[in-house]
Chain A
Protein backbone atom coordinates (compact mmCIF):
# COMPACT_ATOMS: atom_id res chain seq x y z
CA UNK A 1 0.00 0.00 0.00
CA UNK A 2 2.94 2.32 0.84
CA UNK A 3 6.51 1.86 -0.36
CA UNK A 4 9.48 4.10 0.37
CA UNK A 5 12.67 3.40 -1.59
CA UNK A 6 15.85 5.12 -0.44
CA UNK A 7 13.96 8.30 0.33
CA UNK A 8 15.94 11.38 1.31
CA UNK A 9 14.43 14.77 2.08
CA UNK A 10 16.56 17.87 2.47
CA UNK A 11 14.94 21.15 3.49
CA UNK A 12 16.59 24.28 2.18
CA UNK A 13 20.27 23.90 1.48
CA UNK A 14 21.47 21.51 4.17
CA UNK A 15 18.76 20.52 6.66
CA UNK A 16 18.57 16.75 6.36
CA UNK A 17 15.15 15.61 7.62
CA UNK A 18 14.99 12.10 6.19
CA UNK A 19 18.09 10.16 5.23
CA UNK A 20 17.89 7.16 2.88
CA UNK A 21 14.76 5.60 4.37
CA UNK A 22 13.22 2.44 2.91
CA UNK A 23 10.23 0.47 4.17
CA UNK A 24 6.97 -1.03 3.03
CA UNK A 25 3.54 -0.99 4.56
CA UNK A 26 1.17 -3.76 3.46
CA UNK A 27 -2.53 -3.24 2.86
CA UNK A 28 -4.48 -3.38 6.10
CA UNK A 29 -1.42 -2.84 8.31
CA UNK A 30 -1.38 -0.66 11.40
CA UNK A 31 2.06 0.80 12.03
CA UNK A 32 3.57 3.28 14.45
CA UNK A 33 6.29 5.71 13.46
CA UNK A 34 8.02 6.56 16.71
CA UNK A 35 10.90 8.80 17.67
CA UNK A 36 11.64 12.09 19.42
CA UNK A 37 10.44 15.45 18.13
CA UNK A 38 12.29 16.52 15.02
CA UNK A 39 13.35 12.98 14.15
CA UNK A 40 11.54 13.09 10.80
CA UNK A 41 8.25 11.31 11.55
CA UNK A 42 6.07 14.16 10.32
CA UNK A 43 8.21 14.61 7.24
CA UNK A 44 7.63 10.96 6.33
CA UNK A 45 3.86 11.46 6.60
CA UNK A 46 4.05 14.65 4.57
CA UNK A 47 6.01 12.80 1.89
CA UNK A 48 3.20 10.22 1.72
CA UNK A 49 0.44 12.82 1.36
CA UNK A 50 2.68 14.78 -1.00
CA UNK A 51 2.73 17.93 1.02
CA UNK A 52 6.46 17.47 0.50
CA UNK A 53 8.33 15.93 -2.42
CA UNK A 54 11.30 13.65 -1.81
CA UNK A 55 14.69 15.10 -2.72
CA UNK A 56 15.89 11.62 -3.67
CA UNK A 57 14.32 8.17 -3.88
CA UNK A 58 10.74 7.14 -4.61
CA UNK A 59 7.52 7.16 -2.63
CA UNK A 60 4.65 4.93 -3.75
CA UNK A 61 1.21 5.34 -2.18
CA UNK A 62 -1.86 3.33 -3.15
CA UNK A 63 -0.23 2.22 -6.38
CA UNK A 64 0.79 5.72 -7.41
CA UNK A 65 4.30 7.10 -7.72
CA UNK A 66 3.96 10.18 -5.55
CA UNK A 67 7.42 11.52 -6.35
CA UNK A 68 6.76 11.99 -10.07
CA UNK A 69 3.14 12.97 -9.67
CA UNK A 70 1.87 16.00 -11.62
CA UNK A 71 0.49 18.68 -9.26
CA UNK A 72 -2.92 18.34 -10.90
CA UNK A 73 -3.11 14.67 -9.80
CA UNK A 74 -2.33 15.38 -6.14
CA UNK A 75 -5.98 16.08 -5.13
CA UNK A 76 -6.94 12.62 -6.36
CA UNK A 77 -4.17 11.04 -4.30
CA UNK A 78 -5.45 12.94 -1.25
CA UNK A 79 -8.95 11.54 -1.79
CA UNK A 80 -7.59 8.09 -1.08
CA UNK A 81 -5.93 9.34 2.11
CA UNK A 82 -7.37 10.48 5.43
CA UNK A 83 -5.23 12.90 7.40
CA UNK A 84 -5.55 13.65 11.09
CA UNK A 85 -3.39 15.96 13.15
CA UNK A 86 -2.44 16.86 16.67
CA UNK A 87 -4.28 20.21 16.33
CA UNK A 88 -7.36 18.69 14.60
CA UNK A 89 -7.52 21.43 11.90
CA UNK A 90 -11.28 21.84 12.28
CA UNK A 91 -13.08 24.90 10.93
CA UNK A 92 -14.26 26.80 13.98
CA UNK A 93 -17.09 28.61 12.21
CA UNK A 94 -18.70 25.35 11.12
CA UNK A 95 -20.64 22.83 13.17
CA UNK A 96 -19.53 19.25 13.64
CA UNK A 97 -21.85 18.14 10.88
CA UNK A 98 -20.67 20.90 8.54
CA UNK A 99 -17.02 20.15 9.20
CA UNK A 100 -17.48 16.56 8.08
CA UNK A 101 -19.84 17.49 5.24
CA UNK A 102 -17.29 20.03 3.98
CA UNK A 103 -14.84 17.23 3.13
CA UNK A 104 -17.41 15.64 0.81
CA UNK A 105 -18.76 18.91 -0.51
CA UNK A 106 -15.41 20.17 -1.79
CA UNK A 107 -14.74 17.01 -3.76
CA UNK A 108 -18.08 17.50 -5.47
CA UNK A 109 -20.15 14.78 -3.80
CA UNK A 110 -23.90 15.22 -4.31
CA UNK A 111 -26.08 16.29 -1.41
CA UNK A 112 -27.85 12.96 -0.93
CA UNK A 113 -24.49 11.25 -0.38
CA UNK A 114 -23.60 13.89 2.22
CA UNK A 115 -26.94 13.51 4.01
CA UNK A 116 -26.40 9.78 4.17
CA UNK A 117 -22.69 9.49 4.94
CA UNK A 118 -22.11 12.24 7.49
CA UNK A 119 -24.57 10.96 10.15
CA UNK A 120 -23.28 7.44 9.56
CA UNK A 121 -19.65 8.32 10.18
CA UNK A 122 -20.48 10.63 13.12
CA UNK A 123 -22.34 7.73 14.65
CA UNK A 124 -19.27 5.55 14.08
CA UNK A 125 -17.01 7.93 16.04
CA UNK A 126 -19.60 8.29 18.80
CA UNK A 127 -20.79 11.83 18.16
CA UNK A 128 -24.32 11.17 16.92
CA UNK A 129 -25.76 13.56 19.53
CA UNK A 130 -23.37 16.47 18.77
CA UNK A 131 -24.09 17.32 15.11
CA UNK A 132 -24.92 20.95 15.76
CA UNK A 133 -22.10 21.73 18.22
CA UNK A 134 -19.23 23.96 17.23
CA UNK A 135 -15.64 22.71 17.78
CA UNK A 136 -15.11 25.14 20.67
CA UNK A 137 -17.98 23.51 22.53
CA UNK A 138 -16.29 20.10 22.42
CA UNK A 139 -13.53 18.48 24.45
CA UNK A 140 -10.17 17.74 22.81
CA UNK A 141 -11.03 14.08 22.42
CA UNK A 142 -14.34 14.92 20.79
CA UNK A 143 -12.66 17.34 18.42
CA UNK A 144 -10.22 14.65 17.39
CA UNK A 145 -13.18 12.32 16.78
CA UNK A 146 -14.68 14.92 14.46
CA UNK A 147 -11.41 15.14 12.61
CA UNK A 148 -11.28 11.33 12.31
CA UNK A 149 -14.85 11.35 11.01
CA UNK A 150 -13.85 13.95 8.43
CA UNK A 151 -10.82 11.89 7.38
CA UNK A 152 -12.82 8.67 7.16
CA UNK A 153 -16.04 9.89 5.57
CA UNK A 154 -14.69 9.42 2.06
CA UNK A 155 -13.58 5.84 2.88
CA UNK A 156 -9.82 6.34 2.33
CA UNK A 157 -7.48 3.43 1.70
CA UNK A 158 -4.95 4.88 4.14
CA UNK A 159 -5.20 6.95 7.31
CA UNK A 160 -2.19 9.12 8.14
CA UNK A 161 -2.23 10.27 11.74
CA UNK A 162 0.34 12.80 12.93
CA UNK A 163 0.51 12.77 16.76
CA UNK A 164 -3.26 12.38 17.06
CA UNK A 165 -3.08 11.96 20.85
CA UNK A 166 -0.47 14.68 21.40
CA UNK A 167 -2.92 17.03 23.15
CA UNK A 168 -5.01 14.42 24.94
CA UNK A 169 -4.95 12.79 28.37
CA UNK A 170 -4.15 9.03 28.54
CA UNK A 171 -7.73 7.80 28.84
CA UNK A 172 -8.94 9.90 25.94
CA UNK A 173 -5.90 8.83 23.92
CA UNK A 174 -6.82 5.20 24.38
CA UNK A 175 -10.28 5.92 23.05
CA UNK A 176 -8.86 7.61 19.96
CA UNK A 177 -6.46 4.75 19.26
CA UNK A 178 -9.25 2.24 19.75
CA UNK A 179 -11.21 4.16 17.14
CA UNK A 180 -8.26 4.05 14.74
CA UNK A 181 -8.02 0.34 15.37
CA UNK A 182 -11.69 -0.08 14.55
CA UNK A 183 -11.10 1.81 11.32
CA UNK A 184 -8.08 -0.40 10.64
CA UNK A 185 -10.30 -3.45 11.05
CA UNK A 186 -12.46 -2.28 8.16
CA UNK A 187 -9.38 -2.82 5.95
CA UNK A 188 -7.96 0.71 6.07
CA UNK A 189 -4.18 0.93 6.38
CA UNK A 190 -3.18 3.16 9.32
CA UNK A 191 0.13 4.94 9.75
CA UNK A 192 0.42 6.79 13.05
CA UNK A 193 3.33 8.98 14.05
CA UNK A 194 3.58 9.34 17.81
CA UNK A 195 5.83 9.60 20.80
CA UNK A 196 3.14 8.33 23.15
CA UNK A 197 4.73 5.29 24.93
CA UNK A 198 1.53 4.07 26.51
CA UNK A 199 -0.38 3.81 23.28
CA UNK A 200 2.40 2.02 21.41
CA UNK A 201 3.04 -0.44 24.21
CA UNK A 202 -0.66 -1.12 24.60
CA UNK A 203 -1.22 -1.92 20.95
CA UNK A 204 1.77 -4.12 20.19
CA UNK A 205 1.71 -3.46 16.44
CA UNK A 206 4.55 -2.93 13.99
CA UNK A 207 6.89 -0.13 15.16
CA UNK A 208 9.29 1.80 12.94
CA UNK A 209 11.61 3.92 15.04
CA UNK A 210 13.19 6.99 13.46
CA UNK A 211 16.12 8.92 14.85
CA UNK A 212 17.63 11.93 13.09
CA UNK A 213 16.03 10.93 9.80
CA UNK A 214 17.23 7.31 9.85
CA UNK A 215 15.27 4.10 10.53
CA UNK A 216 16.92 2.60 13.59
CA UNK A 217 14.40 -0.18 14.27
CA UNK A 218 11.62 -1.91 12.33
CA UNK A 219 9.88 -4.47 14.52
CA UNK A 220 6.65 -6.48 14.30
CA UNK A 221 4.57 -6.35 17.49
CA UNK A 222 7.03 -3.83 18.93
CA UNK A 223 7.03 -1.55 21.95
CA UNK A 224 8.22 2.04 22.28
CA UNK A 225 11.42 1.43 24.31
Chain B
Protein backbone atom coordinates (compact mmCIF):
# COMPACT_ATOMS: atom_id res chain seq x y z
CA UNK B 1 0.00 0.00 0.00
CA UNK B 2 2.80 2.34 0.97
CA UNK B 3 4.58 1.53 -2.29
CA UNK B 4 1.45 2.49 -4.22
CA UNK B 5 1.03 5.82 -2.46
CA UNK B 6 4.68 6.61 -2.92
CA UNK B 7 4.44 5.72 -6.60
CA UNK B 8 1.36 7.94 -7.11
CA UNK B 9 2.95 10.94 -5.39
CA UNK B 10 6.26 10.57 -7.22
CA UNK B 11 4.56 10.32 -10.61
CA UNK B 12 2.27 13.26 -9.85
CA UNK B 13 5.20 15.45 -8.97
CA UNK B 14 7.27 14.35 -11.98
CA UNK B 15 4.44 15.06 -14.38
CA UNK B 16 3.81 18.39 -12.70
CA UNK B 17 7.36 19.54 -13.39
CA UNK B 18 7.52 18.12 -16.89
CA UNK B 19 4.49 20.12 -17.97
CA UNK B 20 5.28 23.40 -16.28
CA UNK B 21 3.96 25.84 -18.91
CA UNK B 22 0.59 24.18 -19.38
CA UNK B 23 0.32 23.63 -15.65
CA UNK B 24 0.91 27.32 -14.97
CA UNK B 25 -1.79 28.28 -17.45
CA UNK B 26 -4.26 25.89 -15.84
CA UNK B 27 -3.40 27.04 -12.32
CA UNK B 28 -3.62 30.74 -13.15
CA UNK B 29 -6.93 30.37 -14.95
CA UNK B 30 -8.48 28.52 -12.07
CA UNK B 31 -7.03 31.12 -9.68
CA UNK B 32 -8.61 33.98 -11.61
CA UNK B 33 -11.93 32.17 -11.95
CA UNK B 34 -11.98 31.44 -8.22
CA UNK B 35 -10.92 34.99 -7.38
CA UNK B 36 -13.97 36.21 -9.24
CA UNK B 37 -16.17 33.74 -7.37
CA UNK B 38 -14.70 35.01 -4.11
CA UNK B 39 -15.22 38.63 -5.12
CA UNK B 40 -18.86 37.84 -5.93
CA UNK B 41 -19.36 36.46 -2.44
CA UNK B 42 -17.68 39.46 -0.79
CA UNK B 43 -19.55 42.05 -2.85
CA UNK B 44 -22.86 40.39 -2.10
CA UNK B 45 -22.11 40.28 1.58
CA UNK B 46 -21.02 43.92 1.60
CA UNK B 47 -24.18 45.02 -0.15
CA UNK B 48 -26.20 42.96 2.29
CA UNK B 49 -24.73 45.00 5.14
CA UNK B 50 -26.05 48.10 3.51
CA UNK B 51 -29.43 46.56 2.83
CA UNK B 52 -29.88 44.68 6.08
CA UNK B 53 -32.28 47.25 7.51
CA UNK B 54 -34.52 46.92 4.45
CA UNK B 55 -34.77 43.15 4.54
CA UNK B 56 -38.25 41.62 4.16
CA UNK B 57 -39.98 44.11 1.86
CA UNK B 58 -39.52 46.92 4.36
CA UNK B 59 -40.11 50.11 2.40
CA UNK B 60 -40.28 52.72 5.15
CA UNK B 61 -38.55 53.10 8.47
CA UNK B 62 -39.90 55.48 11.11
CA UNK B 63 -37.05 56.40 13.47
CA UNK B 64 -38.18 57.34 16.98
CA UNK B 65 -36.12 59.77 19.10
CA UNK B 66 -34.21 58.00 21.81
CA UNK B 67 -35.76 60.31 24.44
CA UNK B 68 -39.35 59.78 23.28
CA UNK B 69 -41.81 58.87 26.03
CA UNK B 70 -43.66 55.54 25.98
CA UNK B 71 -46.87 57.45 25.22
CA UNK B 72 -45.33 58.98 22.11
CA UNK B 73 -44.17 55.52 20.93
CA UNK B 74 -47.68 54.16 21.52
CA UNK B 75 -49.16 57.05 19.54
CA UNK B 76 -46.88 56.36 16.57
CA UNK B 77 -47.75 52.70 16.77
CA UNK B 78 -51.47 53.33 16.73
CA UNK B 79 -51.15 55.85 13.91
CA UNK B 80 -49.31 53.29 11.80
CA UNK B 81 -51.95 50.68 12.58
CA UNK B 82 -54.72 53.12 11.67
CA UNK B 83 -54.02 52.67 7.97
CA UNK B 84 -54.54 48.91 7.47
CA UNK B 85 -55.43 49.38 3.82
CA UNK B 86 -52.02 50.82 3.01
CA UNK B 87 -49.75 49.24 5.64
CA UNK B 88 -49.33 45.52 6.26
CA UNK B 89 -50.12 45.58 9.99
CA UNK B 90 -49.15 41.93 10.39
CA UNK B 91 -45.60 42.66 9.30
CA UNK B 92 -45.20 45.91 11.20
CA UNK B 93 -42.23 45.51 13.49
CA UNK B 94 -40.87 47.63 16.30
CA UNK B 95 -37.13 47.40 17.07
CA UNK B 96 -36.34 48.45 20.64
CA UNK B 97 -33.00 49.90 21.67
CA UNK B 98 -30.94 46.68 22.00
CA UNK B 99 -32.28 45.40 18.65
CA UNK B 100 -31.61 48.67 16.88
CA UNK B 101 -28.14 48.79 18.35
CA UNK B 102 -27.37 45.26 17.16
CA UNK B 103 -28.45 46.19 13.65
CA UNK B 104 -26.40 49.36 13.67
CA UNK B 105 -23.33 47.32 14.48
CA UNK B 106 -23.66 45.65 11.09
CA UNK B 107 -24.56 48.75 9.13
CA UNK B 108 -21.65 50.74 10.51
CA UNK B 109 -19.19 47.83 10.61
CA UNK B 110 -16.65 49.74 8.56
CA UNK B 111 -17.36 53.11 10.13
CA UNK B 112 -16.04 53.03 13.68
CA UNK B 113 -16.42 56.80 14.08
CA UNK B 114 -20.19 56.71 13.66
CA UNK B 115 -20.41 53.50 15.65
CA UNK B 116 -18.61 55.08 18.61
CA UNK B 117 -21.18 57.86 18.74
CA UNK B 118 -23.98 55.36 19.18
CA UNK B 119 -24.71 53.71 22.50
CA UNK B 120 -27.58 51.40 23.42
CA UNK B 121 -29.05 54.39 25.29
CA UNK B 122 -28.78 57.09 22.64
CA UNK B 123 -29.76 55.06 19.61
CA UNK B 124 -33.11 55.86 17.97
CA UNK B 125 -35.56 52.96 17.99
CA UNK B 126 -37.49 52.20 14.83
CA UNK B 127 -40.69 50.95 13.23
CA UNK B 128 -40.20 48.87 10.10
CA UNK B 129 -43.12 49.34 7.76
CA UNK B 130 -44.13 47.02 4.94
CA UNK B 131 -46.64 48.77 2.70
CA UNK B 132 -49.41 46.89 0.93
CA UNK B 133 -49.60 49.33 -1.92
CA UNK B 134 -47.28 49.63 -4.89
CA UNK B 135 -48.13 53.31 -5.19
CA UNK B 136 -44.95 55.10 -4.13
CA UNK B 137 -46.65 58.50 -4.03
CA UNK B 138 -49.10 57.23 -1.45
CA UNK B 139 -46.25 55.83 0.68
CA UNK B 140 -44.40 59.14 0.32
CA UNK B 141 -47.39 61.17 1.48
CA UNK B 142 -47.79 58.85 4.48
CA UNK B 143 -44.12 59.41 5.30
CA UNK B 144 -44.63 63.19 5.23
CA UNK B 145 -47.55 62.75 7.58
CA UNK B 146 -45.56 60.59 10.05
CA UNK B 147 -42.69 63.08 10.16
CA UNK B 148 -44.97 65.56 11.94
CA UNK B 149 -45.82 63.15 14.79
CA UNK B 150 -44.29 63.99 18.17
CA UNK B 151 -41.26 61.85 19.01
CA UNK B 152 -40.44 60.99 15.40
CA UNK B 153 -36.84 61.74 14.53
CA UNK B 154 -36.91 60.88 10.85
CA UNK B 155 -38.68 58.76 8.26
CA UNK B 156 -36.55 56.94 5.70
CA UNK B 157 -37.93 55.57 2.46
CA UNK B 158 -36.54 52.51 0.69
CA UNK B 159 -37.15 54.19 -2.60
CA UNK B 160 -34.59 56.86 -1.74
CA UNK B 161 -31.84 54.68 -0.29
CA UNK B 162 -32.49 51.19 -1.34
CA UNK B 163 -33.64 50.90 -4.92
CA UNK B 164 -30.43 52.10 -6.58
CA UNK B 165 -28.23 49.91 -4.44
CA UNK B 166 -30.52 46.94 -4.85
CA UNK B 167 -30.49 47.26 -8.63
CA UNK B 168 -26.73 47.79 -8.64
CA UNK B 169 -26.15 44.80 -6.41
CA UNK B 170 -28.36 42.59 -8.57
CA UNK B 171 -26.54 43.70 -11.69
CA UNK B 172 -23.10 43.16 -10.20
CA UNK B 173 -24.16 39.75 -8.95
CA UNK B 174 -25.40 38.62 -12.35
CA UNK B 175 -22.34 39.85 -14.19
CA UNK B 176 -19.76 38.42 -11.78
CA UNK B 177 -21.66 35.14 -11.50
CA UNK B 178 -21.77 34.63 -15.26
CA UNK B 179 -18.13 35.61 -15.65
CA UNK B 180 -17.00 33.28 -12.91
CA UNK B 181 -19.04 30.38 -14.31
CA UNK B 182 -17.52 30.89 -17.75
CA UNK B 183 -14.02 31.13 -16.28
CA UNK B 184 -14.57 28.04 -14.15
CA UNK B 185 -15.58 26.13 -17.26
CA UNK B 186 -12.44 27.42 -18.99
CA UNK B 187 -10.36 26.31 -15.99
CA UNK B 188 -11.86 22.82 -16.15
CA UNK B 189 -11.09 22.74 -19.89
CA UNK B 190 -7.48 23.81 -19.35
CA UNK B 191 -6.90 21.27 -16.61
CA UNK B 192 -8.49 18.63 -18.83
CA UNK B 193 -6.13 19.58 -21.65
CA UNK B 194 -3.07 19.57 -19.39
CA UNK B 195 -3.87 16.11 -18.10
CA UNK B 196 -4.64 14.86 -21.59
CA UNK B 197 -1.27 16.14 -22.78
CA UNK B 198 0.47 14.57 -19.81
CA UNK B 199 -1.18 11.24 -20.58
CA UNK B 200 -0.28 11.48 -24.24
CA UNK B 201 3.34 12.20 -23.34
CA UNK B 202 3.38 9.01 -21.30
CA UNK B 203 1.35 6.80 -23.62
CA UNK B 204 4.13 4.22 -23.94
CA UNK B 205 4.38 3.88 -20.20
CA UNK B 206 0.61 3.56 -19.96
CA UNK B 207 0.67 0.89 -22.67
CA UNK B 208 3.29 -1.10 -20.74
CA UNK B 209 1.41 -0.64 -17.47
CA UNK B 210 -1.74 -2.08 -19.00
CA UNK B 211 0.26 -4.89 -20.50
CA UNK B 212 1.74 -6.04 -17.22
CA UNK B 213 -1.57 -5.79 -15.41
CA UNK B 214 -1.71 -2.42 -13.67
CA UNK B 215 -5.33 -1.58 -12.85
CA UNK B 216 -6.95 1.40 -14.52
CA UNK B 217 -7.23 3.12 -11.17
CA UNK B 218 -3.55 2.68 -10.50
CA UNK B 219 -2.80 4.33 -13.84
CA UNK B 220 -5.36 7.07 -13.34
CA UNK B 221 -4.67 8.18 -9.79
CA UNK B 222 -1.42 10.12 -10.42
CA UNK B 223 -3.10 12.03 -13.25
CA UNK B 224 -6.17 12.78 -11.19
CA UNK B 225 -4.02 13.90 -8.29
CA UNK B 226 -2.16 16.18 -10.67
CA UNK B 227 -5.40 17.85 -11.76
CA UNK B 228 -6.61 18.07 -8.18
CA UNK B 229 -3.34 19.69 -7.18
CA UNK B 230 -3.59 22.23 -10.01
CA UNK B 231 -7.10 23.20 -8.91
CA UNK B 232 -6.03 23.35 -5.29
CA UNK B 233 -3.04 25.58 -6.02
CA UNK B 234 -5.37 27.79 -8.05
CA UNK B 235 -7.57 27.90 -4.93
CA UNK B 236 -4.66 28.93 -2.70
CA UNK B 237 -3.62 31.69 -5.11
CA UNK B 238 -7.21 32.96 -5.30
CA UNK B 239 -7.41 32.99 -1.48
CA UNK B 240 -4.34 35.19 -1.32
CA UNK B 241 -5.89 37.41 -3.98
CA UNK B 242 -9.22 37.70 -2.19
CA UNK B 243 -7.46 38.43 1.08
CA UNK B 244 -5.30 41.16 -0.52
CA UNK B 245 -8.29 42.69 -2.30
CA UNK B 246 -10.36 42.72 0.85
CA UNK B 247 -7.59 44.25 2.95
CA UNK B 248 -6.98 46.98 0.39
CA UNK B 249 -10.71 47.69 0.17
CA UNK B 250 -11.27 47.77 3.93
CA UNK B 251 -8.34 50.15 4.40
CA UNK B 252 -9.53 52.33 1.54
CA UNK B 253 -13.10 52.49 2.80
CA UNK B 254 -12.00 53.56 6.28
CA UNK B 255 -10.80 56.91 4.85
CA UNK B 256 -14.27 57.74 3.47
CA UNK B 257 -16.46 60.36 5.13
CA UNK B 258 -18.33 58.67 7.98
CA UNK B 259 -22.00 58.17 7.37
CA UNK B 260 -21.87 58.04 3.56
CA UNK B 261 -22.96 54.39 3.49
CA UNK B 262 -19.90 53.31 1.51
CA UNK B 263 -18.22 52.51 4.79
CA UNK B 264 -20.70 49.72 5.49
CA UNK B 265 -19.47 47.88 2.39
CA UNK B 266 -17.08 45.66 4.34
CA UNK B 267 -17.21 42.06 5.43
CA UNK B 268 -16.29 40.55 8.78
CA UNK B 269 -13.14 38.38 8.97
CA UNK B 270 -15.09 35.26 9.83
CA UNK B 271 -17.01 35.55 6.59
CA UNK B 272 -13.78 36.01 4.66
CA UNK B 273 -12.37 32.77 6.10
CA UNK B 274 -15.56 31.00 5.11
CA UNK B 275 -15.21 32.26 1.55
CA UNK B 276 -11.59 31.07 1.44
CA UNK B 277 -12.61 27.58 2.49
CA UNK B 278 -15.24 27.57 -0.25
CA UNK B 279 -12.65 28.70 -2.82
CA UNK B 280 -10.23 25.92 -1.83
CA UNK B 281 -12.97 23.31 -2.06
CA UNK B 282 -14.18 24.70 -5.37
CA UNK B 283 -10.62 24.66 -6.72
CA UNK B 284 -10.22 21.02 -5.75
CA UNK B 285 -13.57 20.18 -7.38
CA UNK B 286 -12.65 21.99 -10.61
CA UNK B 287 -9.33 20.12 -10.75
CA UNK B 288 -10.97 16.80 -9.97
CA UNK B 289 -13.63 17.22 -12.65
CA UNK B 290 -11.17 18.28 -15.37
CA UNK B 291 -8.70 15.50 -14.66
CA UNK B 292 -11.36 12.85 -14.09
CA UNK B 293 -12.82 13.48 -17.53
CA UNK B 294 -9.37 13.37 -19.10
CA UNK B 295 -8.23 10.30 -17.18
CA UNK B 296 -11.32 8.29 -17.99
CA UNK B 297 -11.41 9.22 -21.66
CA UNK B 298 -7.78 8.95 -22.67
CA UNK B 299 -6.74 5.76 -20.95
CA UNK B 300 -7.12 3.75 -24.15
CA UNK B 301 -3.80 4.54 -25.74
Residues of chain A whose beta carbon lies under 8 Å from any beta carbon of chain B: 49, 71-72, 75-79, 81, 83, 89, 91, 102-103, 105-111, 150-151, 154
Chain B hits for A105, CB < 8 A:
3, 7
Report whether A78 and B205 are in contact in the complex, using a CB–CB cutoff of 8 Å: no
B residues contacting the other copy or chain, number (CB 8 A): 19
B161: interface (CB < 8 Å): no
- Residues of B near A103 (CB, < 8 A) are 208, 212
| In contact, A107 and B3 (Cβ under 8 angstroms) | no
Given A49-B211, A105-B7: 4 more A-B contacts, CB < 8 Å? A75-B214, A89-B208, A89-B211, A108-B3
Tell yes or no: B216 within 8 A of A by CB. Answer: yes
Q: How far is the CA of A26 from the CA of B213 in the complex (A)?
A: 23
Instruction: Assess whether A89 is in contact with B204, with CB atoms less than 8 Å apart.
Output: yes
Interface residue ranges, B against A (CB under 8 Å): 1-4, 7, 204-205, 207-216, 218-219
State in angstroms the CA–CA spacing of A113 and B272 once bound together. 51
With both beta carbons as reference points, the residue of chain A lying nearest to B209 in the complex is identified as: A106
Main secondary structure of the interface of B (DSSP, over half): helix
A151–B208 Cα gap in the complex (Å)? 10
In the assembled complex, the Cα of A137 lies from the Cα of B108 at a distance in Å of 76
CB-CB under 8 A from B215, the residues of chain A are 72, 75
Are A110 and B3 in touch, CB under 8 angstroms? yes
> Complex: how many Å from CA A78 to CA B210?
8
8 nearest CB pairs, A to B: A78-B213, A79-B213, A106-B214, A103-B212, A75-B213, A75-B215, A106-B209, A108-B4
Q: Is the CB of B208 within 8 A of A102?
A: yes
Which of chain B's residues have a CB closer than 8 A to the CB of A150?
212
Q: A163 to chain B: closest CB distance in Å?
A: 16
Residues of chain A within 8 A (CB-CB) of B219 are 106
Contact B212 A78 (CB under 8 A): yes
**What residue in chain B is nearest A90 (Cβ atoms)?**
B208
CB contacts (< 8 Å) of B210 on chain A: these are 75, 78
List B contacts of A110 (CB < 8 A). Answer: 2-3
Closest Cβ–Cβ distance, residue A59 to chain B (whole Å): 17
* Docked pose: A105 CA to B1 CA in angstroms: 11
Contact of A78 among B2, B4, B204, B211 (CB under 8 A): B211
Most buried by A among B7, B204, B207, B211: B211
Residue of A nearest to B206 (CB): A106
A-side contacts of B211, CB under 8 Å: 49, 78, 83, 89
Query: Using Cβ atoms and an 8 Å threshold, which residues of chain A touch B207?
Result: 89
Are B212 and A72 in contact (CB-based, < 8 A)? no
B212 contacts across to A, CB distance below 8 A: 78-79, 83, 102-103, 106-107, 150-151, 154
> How far apart are B265's CB and chain A's nearest CB, in angstroms?
55
The complex places the Cα of A102 from the Cα of B4 at a distance, in Å, of 12
Determine how close the nearest CB of chain A comes to the CB of B206; give it in whole angstroms.
Answer: 10
Shortest distance from the beta carbon of B187 to any chain A beta carbon, whole Å: 30
Known pairs A72-B216, A107-B213, A108-B218; A91 contacts B205 (CB<8 A): yes
Which of B205, B210, B215, B216 gathers most chain A CB within 10 Å? B215
